[in-house]
């Protein structure tokens, strides 16, 4: 089934209980451009969750796992803060989500400004 996104249409309170009307955002199968996927895998190998996995994992990721599951799983295992993961979830499409994830991982915890540190507890 995968990750589902939705849009909040309206919200209200009735007798102290919050309610909302939401609609799912219907997205067809999303496919990453092969170069975008290769770039993301390179970044994940150096700075992300793939750095501790066997190189043979790449074949599984590129040939067996669908692109959406791959990107979402890497977002989950990335070690990013909840706010950063929410920012990834708000991406317009899978390609943008993959690009943002790669950018976050490239940025890493190299920043000395705590408000820009997107990683949990890392310095």
Domain residue limits, the chain? 30-116
Instruction: Give the pLDDT confidence of 57-71 residue by residue, as tens digits.
Output: 877 777 788 888 889
Lowest mean pLDDT among 10-14, 39-43, 68-72, 80-84: 10-14
- What does the pLDDT average to over 102-107? 89
pLDDT tops 50 at residue 35: yes
Task: Output the pLDDT for position 98.
Answer: 93
Measured CA to CA, the distance from residue 106 to residue 54 in angstroms comes to 21
Measured CA to CA, the distance from residue 109 to residue 95 in angstroms comes to 23
How long, in residues, is the chain? Answer: 123
Measured CA to CA, the distance from residue 106 to residue 108 in angstroms comes to 5
pTM here is 0.65
Task: Output the pLDDT for position 123.
Answer: 40
Sorting pLDDT into bands at 50, 70 and 90, what band is 114?
Answer: very low
Task: Output the pLDDT for position 100.
Answer: 93
Tell me what percent of the chain is helix, strand and coil, each rounded to the nearest 5: 50, 15, 35
Which residues are 11's β-sheet partners? 20
Running DSSP on this structure, what letter comes out for residue 101? H
Task: Output the pLDDT for position 121.
Answer: 45
Q: Are 107 and 119 in contact (CB under 8 A)?
A: no
Q: Which of residues 88 and 22 earns the better pLDDT score?
A: 88
């Amino acid at each position: 089934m995968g990750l589902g996104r939705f849009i909040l249409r309206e919200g209200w309170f009735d007798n102290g209980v919050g309610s909302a009307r939401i609609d799912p955002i219907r997205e067809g199968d999303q496919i990453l451009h092969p170069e975008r996927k290769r770039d993301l895998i390179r970044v994940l190998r150096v700075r992300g969750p793939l750095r501790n996995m066997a190189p043979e994992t790449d074949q599984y990721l590129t040939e067996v796992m669908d692109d959406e599951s791959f990107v979402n799983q890497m977002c989950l295992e990335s070690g990013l803060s909840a706010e950063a993961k929410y920012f990834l979830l708000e991406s317009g499409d899978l390609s943008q989500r993959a690009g943002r994830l790669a950018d976050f991982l490239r940025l890493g915890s190299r920043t000395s400004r705590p408000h820009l540190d997107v990683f949990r507890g890392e310095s």
